[in-house]
Amino acid sequence: MNPSKSKVTVLCQIAKLIRRNLISKLANKYGVSEKTRTFSPTSHILSLIFAQLSHALGLNDVCDTLNNHSGVLTTIRGSTPPSRNGLSYANRNRNPDMAEALFWETLKSLESRNPQFRLGGRKYCAFPRRFKKCISVVDSTTIKLIANCIDWAKHRRRKAAAKMHLRLDLASFLPAFILVKSAKNNDAKEARTVCANIKDGEIVTFDKAYVDFKHLYELLKRGVSWVTRTKDNMKYEVVGRHMAPKGNILRDVVIKLTGTNTSKWYPERLRLVEALVEVDKKMKRITFITNNFEWASLSVCDLYKARWAIEVFFKEIKQTLQLSDFMGYNESAVKWQLWTALLAYVLLRFIAWQSNWEHTFIRLFTALRGVLWSCLDMFSVLNCCGTAGGRPRMRSTPDQCYLPGFEILFS
């Protein structure tokens, strides 16, 4: 089965998922239009999206390819190919807040026009389905950069990096909050900002790097249930047993913090669960703490285990979309590329939902990357992937080496 033809390219079909006039509206709002001459904001966004979808090697690769397809490019909302200096200048000097706003507005638009996109989208394989409330996972990823080119992100003498703090909705596998800053800041200092919009009754889980007992106590007062790991130097005393040990659960006790400061920052009691958890095919003893006293001991472990979903998300962003390769190293250029990479990710996820895609994200990416300039219907392209059609393969076993209608003779 061959993909059906289309009047426009696959790249144009992807770009049309962004609401018309949204880019120009945001360009006026954030002052980008004032610095625009021949290279329009729409052309800028499309160039960066193409760079992510095609795994472009750098500025020259993007500009040369778009110049070679300049005729087709004009059909995508009047876009024009950039020059190398023009694209570099736009990344350095245009306000990257526009790219951030475009990401959130596009995600909001897709969800409002298609409510089932968030509700019935991708499900993480280890999602604990017995929980009916919203589960958020918080973590960060470090994006390594070049120290001698990027003063704004220096966090060590010879190293520089940006850090993306993310709150992921586990049910939809879509971002709920993103914060991009220099890597020099401690994760715990950003915990309040990342968790600011979590509502009463919801659940959040995060690594021990985000443990700040002042913030954890604020979440308790807001009615938010949380699960995290204990730090090695946490001082506490056991004041009672919550549940009897069973199976891989070694301890499930009630504790009270005894540290000089932590006892003031978190005066209430906590629940500590110590269990044997499989990590890299080996059983490892891990200790969790939570403010919820109603869940089963295994539920606490399963909730923290589901935190691995955010690592899968980071892998898809950094490896599949190759976010680790940057075309510029000042703060503005990094943010432009990061937000457009996230935008490309959301567009691909929406396409996967519309086409009922059942394979991996990387296979979706490679299927569309190879036909970006082809005039094919992208949904029919995806429907042709993974099919079992075509000629049957020849069998090589001896009992199959005969012509139809003839008997098999054995000696």
pLDDT digits (tens, 9 = 90+) for 330-340: 888 888 989 99
Asked whether the predicted pLDDT for residue 404 surpasses 60, the reply is no
Q: Specify the DSSP class assigned to residue 185.
A: S
Give the number of C-alpha atoms closer than 13 A to the C-alpha of residue 66, restricted to the C-beta side.
31
* pLDDT number for residue 127: 62
Asked whether the predicted pLDDT for residue 210 surpasses 60, the reply is yes
Give the mean pLDDT of 62-73.
93
The alpha-carbon radius of gyration of the chain (Å, integer) is: 26
Q: Is the dihedral of CA 127, 128, 134, 139 positive or negative?
A: negative
Instruction: Mark residue 275 as left, alpha or beta (left: phi above 0; alpha: psi -120 to 50; beta: remaining).
Output: beta
User: Pick from 182, 126, 176, 175: which is nearest to 345 by CA?
Assistant: 175
Domain(s) labelled CATH 3.90.350.10 in the chain stretch across 126-315
Give the mean pLDDT of 232-238.
92
CATH superfamily ID and name for 126-315? Transposase Inhibitor Protein From Tn5; Chain A, domain 1 (3.90.350.10)
* pLDDT number for residue 121: 58
Asked whether the predicted pLDDT for residue 153 surpasses 50, the reply is no
Using 50, 70 and 90 to split pLDDT, how confident is the model at 131?
A: confident
Distance between terminal CA atoms of the chain? 44
* pLDDT number for residue 122: 61
* Percent of the chain whose predicted confidence (pLDDT) is above 90: 47
Give the mean pLDDT of 28-56.
90
- d(Cα 61, Cα 199) in Å, to the nearest integer? 45
Most confident by average pLDDT, 125-129, 133-137, 169-173, 215-219: 215-219
User: Pick from 107, 88, 105, 101: which is nearest to 44 by CA?
Assistant: 88
Q: Specify the DSSP class assigned to residue 373.
A: T
Asked whether the predicted pLDDT for residue 152 surpasses 60, the reply is no
**What pTM value is reported for the model?**
0.84
User: How confident is the model over 239-260, as pLDDT tens digits?
Assistant: 998 888 888 899 999 999 999 9
CA–CA distance from 387 to each of 1, 359, 367, 390 (Å)? 9, 11, 13, 9
* pLDDT number for residue 161: 67
Asked whether the predicted pLDDT for residue 148 surpasses 60, the reply is no
Asked whether the predicted pLDDT for residue 397 surpasses 70, the reply is no
Give the mean pLDDT of 169-180.
88
Residue with tokens 């036909």: 371
Asked whether the predicted pLDDT for residue 350 surpasses 90, the reply is yes
User: Pick from 112, 45, 108: which is nearest to 76 by CA?
Assistant: 45
User: Pick from 97, 21, 10: which is nearest to 367 by CA?
Assistant: 10
Angle ∠(7,13,16) on CA atoms, nearest 5? 120
User: How confident is the model over 297-329, as pLDDT tens digits?
Assistant: 988 988 888 888 888 888 888 888 877 667 777
pLDDT averaged over the chain? 84
* pLDDT number for residue 162: 74
> Which residues are CB-contacts of 199 (< 8 A; sequence separation ≥ 6)?
134, 224
* pLDDT number for residue 115: 82
